[in-house]
Amino acid sequence: MIRYPIIVLDDFFEDPDSVVELANSVDYFDMDSRWPGKRSDHLKNINESFYAYFVNKVFSAFGLAPSGCEMSATFQKISPFSENKWDAKNRGWIHVDSKDTIFAGIVYLNKNADKDTGTSIYKAKKGCFPLHTPSIKKELYKGEDVNDDDYTQQYNEYTDQFEETVKVDNIYNRFLSFPSTALHGVRTCGTEERLTIPFFCHSVSNANKNKPLPN
């Protein structure tokens, strides 16, 4: 089984301002309670030529051809839940991506962003175990009222099971990719709206499976 490496690339888009302009021109929809914020329709449905360009850019980062590959990607906006960026409600819940994902990643699209609103990679302190986040997370993401002390306690108890191994700052037009098995999460949503492109690769062509990947 191929393990896709962690890759960080700066200056990913040739014209990131036009990408932000596109992101700000589309509609956003409430997501289910697994994630905070709102997401757009799939990029393929928004602008097929931009989607093709984006997929080509992503696979080029691995030295792979995009033909025969399946990827989902959207724009995402997350508004802070608190004025304190380190409030537990503003922190990300550590998780892995769905089983049908091969590798995933994100492109950061905020100018002059708070660097702490990037992404961290983690390892479990006691090896592998089921990842069951507390129900209070879903309650918050649904817009329900939650007790601050209860939320903070449950967040800290959950997060204490992990150790940070890689820290990637939020830099405008930075690309981050990681294997689907990587434990990861946003460090903080910050105090301003966070704009990104999260993406998920679901399949690669047979021709790509035999190509060496970057170390």
Supply the CATH number for residue 115's domain.
2.60.120.620
36 or 46, which is more confident? 46
Q: Is the pLDDT score of 83 beyond 60?
A: yes
CA angle at residue 137 from 29 to 182, to 5 degrees? Answer: 85
Percent of the chain with pLDDT over 90: 69
Using DSSP, state whether 105 is helix, strand or coil.
strand
Report field, pTM of the whole predicted structure over 0.85: yes
Question: In b/e form, how buried is each residue of 77-101, taking b as 16+ CB within 10 angstroms?
Answer: bbebbeeebebbbbbbbbbbbeeeb
pLDDT of amino acid 212: 45
Q: Is the pLDDT score of 57 beyond 80?
A: yes
Domain count, the chain: 1
Strand-pairing partners, residue 196, are 76, 108
Q: Looking at residue 83, what DSSP letter applies?
A: S
pLDDT of amino acid 180: 86
pLDDT of amino acid 88: 96
| Residue 50, domain member (yes or no) | yes
| Residue 215, domain member (yes or no) | no
| Residue 194, domain member (yes or no) | yes
pLDDT of amino acid 208: 47
Helices (H), the chain: 16-23, 43-46, 48-61, 135-141, 148-159, 206-209
- Cα–Cα distance, 122 to 24 (Å, whole number): 32
CA distances from 175 to 2, 34, 51, 120 (A): 21, 23, 15, 13
- Angular region, 154: left φ>0, alpha ψ -120 to 50, beta rest: alpha
| Residue indicated by tokens 């434990």 | 183
State pLDDT tens for residues 135-163: 999 999 988 999 999 999 999 999 999 99
| Residue 122, domain member (yes or no) | yes
Quick one: average pLDDT of 169-184?
A: 95
- Cα–Cα distance, 185 to 178 (Å, whole number): 12
Q: Looking at residue 49, what DSSP letter applies?
A: H
Quick one: average pLDDT of 17-30?
A: 96
pLDDT of amino acid 98: 75
Quick one: average pLDDT of 14-20?
A: 98
Two tokens, residue 49:
């030529």
| Residue 212, domain member (yes or no) | no
Average pLDDT, rounded, for the chain: 89
Is the alpha carbon torsion for 157, 184, 124, 116 positive or negative?
negative
Q: Is the pLDDT score of 133 beyond 50?
A: yes
| Residue 211, domain member (yes or no) | no
Q: Is the pLDDT score of 96 beyond 70?
A: yes
Confidence of residue 122 (pLDDT cuts 50, 70, 90): very high
